[in-house]
Structure 1
Amino acid sequence: MTTPRDTPASRRTRANGDGTVYKRKDSRWEAAGYVLAPGNTRKRIRVYGTTRKEALTKLTEKIAASNLGLPVATADSTVSDYLTYWLNGVAVRQVRENTHTRYAACIRLHLIPGLGAKKLARLTARDVRTFLDHLRAACQCCAQGRDTDRHFCCAIGQCCNKRLSPLTVTYVHSVLKSALEHAVREDDLPRNVARNVKTPAPRPRRFKPFTASEARQFLYAASSDRLHALYELALRTGLRKGELLGLHWEDLDLDSGTASIHRSLQRTPTGGLTILHTKTRASERRIALPTECINSLKTHPERQHEEREAAGAGWADNGLVFTTPTGKPLDPTNLTRRFRRLLHRAQLRTIRFHDLRHSTATLLLEQGIDLVVIKELLGHAHIGVTAGVYAHVRLRLQRQAINALGTALGLANDDPDDPSDAAAVR
């Protein structure tokens, strides 16, 4: 007589509520169980896998989410139900809070009004393409009802034609693709229909980085600012705004002239100013500091010490390199305001703070620095990102190279018997 302990794991009876797992005739494994469905009802779902463990894992994840009160959408759910499930049950654990907030706004403002009523299993590529075409053409004041109470735009018969940018339409499409891709991974859909829809690539955002002379003028104007060291780092190393504001003194080794970048300061809807990990794993890097940055960072503690004494008991000691006059973290928005005032005082054209990073890469490229070195300095995940963003600079350098070659060939001696020509060919 066998006991439960002697029974193989694949044949043991599962506890009540854990669902069932069995092998199908097509050699796949199928797991079935009851979960919480939209509308506060319970629904039997089925998931599949190439092994028993894979199918069981998928079912266990869905039951666990259901036990937390999250409705588990299935193929016969509406797109609205599935997007709500994916946003609150899946994406919330995979992306940063600010990214999740952008996803939520995209789903609430565009995807649910446009596709929410359709059944997930019946969604087609034509539905997605039609939706995106309408999104490009629709006035957002009218589509989102902004003019209902204020009596303007379509409410008075004079549409302002405020349409979404191509970049925003592409972003909406990418969010839908991510959600449907998860449905495919969980075997709720056989394919991702949103991937079959091709959207025109948006034009890259134009930016106008500083020229070398403008960069020198900027550094000269910043030399008397309390955040002089921050502006030096931004322009000479290309660090992101969040990376600069999240820099701690323990991250700096001024003796060896290096800095470890692995934190970023961000403002989140729930936590306020929060120290997070860097944007990507590739953003975690160790960079060499220019001599000018080392010198400015060595004098920066003196200014910070004076501010500490002036603040007295009101000083907030958090180990950050760049703080407010009372030691608190610098708000990214406030830094942007300070940066614009500095540009105005220096009589320089207005650019974004992020364009200092573009200025770094552009000036390095123009000095002939290899793309691989610039990629590592900026912390890009792939060299294709670096090459794509700064394609305009590379084209200009190609033109300079071609012109230089043309000059060299134009100066060559046309005499075929000249031995110097033969030596040049070799």
Structure 2
Amino acid sequence: MKLETNQLLRFTTAGSVDDGKSTLIGRLLYDSKSIFEDQLAAVETTSKRKGHEGVDLALFTDGLKDEREQGITIDVAYRYFTTPKRKFIIADTPGHIQYTRNMVTGASTANAALILIDARHGVIEQTKRHAFIASLLQIPHVIVCINKMDLVDFSEKVYDEIVSQFESFASKLYVKDIQFLPISALLGDNVVNRSENTPWYKGAPLLYTLETLHISSDLNKIDARFPVQTVLRPQSEEFLDYRGYAGRVASGIFRPGDEVAVLPSGFTSTIKTIDTLEGELEEAYAPMSVSITLEDDIDISRGDMIVKKNNQPEPVQEFDAMLCWLNDAPARPRAKYTILHTSNEQRAMIKEVIYKIDINTYAREEEDKSLEMNAIARVKIRTTRPLMMDEYRDNRVTGSFVLIDDATHETVAAGMIM
């Protein structure tokens, strides 16, 4: 199969502190010649000033350290680079355990996850946590980079032991594709070029793996869902009778003439036109932003959803979800939050914590009902009005939501509907 040169691969990096994420990204950028000359010159100067013999690759990506020193909230940093075969966006997440929540943000749109393991330490709790989140978010490809192989003399035995450790717990996860690579980000072994130090490794280097990874669309093309963001009523004489419902197609395909239903009211109609600034369209599909007009005058407002008449989600007010708690403050028992689901915003309550996940064993903890930062749990949520939702495994857009604390206006949790 011939690869398209304009394909975009989004991947996230995850690993514990000092596993070498910054050095690995720096090596990818440096060896693939994706560094601007002025940036390279600046890094070379800084490296010399710090007494390094060569270029300190971590300096290409260590802006987060500057943020930390200035007291700025550490978030996900996005890096961009291009090779002749593919374009890339890297979501670089902090390695400290208190920033595990950032991986949820960085991995939410990723096609692949790079999980780094220090060859000296093997699989640790952070490794399992990151692998679980990758599975929870249904990232199709996981590439396990066993780094710092130079510090264990490029031992095949050490590599095989770590692969065995990872596979033993990953068998409990839902990940379609897992690949393993022995690398040294510092020296460049198996990052962009094959290494002569690992003749026992028969696979491809990391960059080739990323360039040839199959990118499958995670968009649901079957279930047509159109959350309404706003109602367009132009005041000009030319469009005096125009009434359009604007938003972004979440999934599926809409065409003029389609019979549709508006939820939660249940009223039905037929699509009259699909409009953009450039004119009318014959069809609209995810993730296009359009305005839809209907043949009938129906009361529709922000938060409603237009769907195919013969393919409707079930409006629900109580549902189960896997919840990642993101906030420093723990959840308050039966506290009310604002839930954001597509364009729908309303009040919600965590009615029950069914069980929490022990990241070390993946066992279910049914006694501990607390939700503290980084906790992952299955919960039952109740809303004031019905939401039009699908399961996350079927539709990542209509199957996900966030919770907002009304007092602080902070995003406290991200959820995936079961």
As a proportion of its length, which structure holds more strand? 2
Q: TM-score, normalised by structure 1?
A: 0.27
Structure with more contact order per residue of length (Cα contacts < 8 Å, sep ≥ 6): 2
Q: TM-score, normalised by structure 2?
A: 0.27
